[in-house]
Amino acid sequence: MASIFTRIIEGEIPGRIIWSDDQCIVMLDIRPLHPGHCLVIPRAEVDHWLDLDPSLASHLMQVSHILGQAQKSVIDCQRVGLLIAGFEVPHTHLHVVPLQGMENLDFRTAETSPRADRLDAMAEVLRGALRQSGHGANVPD
C-alpha cells in the first residue's frame, strides 16, 4: 500500500507543496513543530534513510539546504534544524524546522490543529523566498 506521502506526490491527497523536482518534493508539515516546518520527501518510497541511494540522499540534503536558507530569510528564528526520525510514516522524510531553541524539536509540542489559512500563507511566503533565491523552476504555482 502506498504511503500517505506517495499519495500526496501522486495528487490523490492534497498537500501544501512548495518545491517539486524529479527526485523529491517539499511540503509544509501539517503538524508543525514551529511555523514554517517543512518535509523534504523523495519521490521513491524508501522506508529508512540508510537505504537511500547515496546520490538521492545527497540531493535531499541539497534541497534541505536551499529550503533552510529560504526559511531563515523569511522566518524569525535562531537556527534552522534538520531531523530524520522515520517513525511517523514508513517513507523517508527530512524535517527542516525553523528553531528558536531545542524545545522546537519536541514532537510532543507539535501544533495539532494549525489554521489552514496560516499554513497557506506560510506556503506562499516560502514559495516566494525560493523564487527570490533563483529556484523558481522548482516552485509550483
Instruction: Give the three-state DSSP class for 31.
Output: coil
Q: What single-letter amino acid sits at 134?
A: G
93 classed as catalytic = yes
Candidates 34, 37, 93, 95; catalytic one: 93
Distance between CA atoms of residues 98 and 4, nearest Å: 24
* CA end-to-end span of the chain: 29
Distance between CA atoms of residues 15 and 133, nearest Å: 23
Distance between CA atoms of residues 68 and 139, nearest Å: 15
The catalytic residue positions are 93
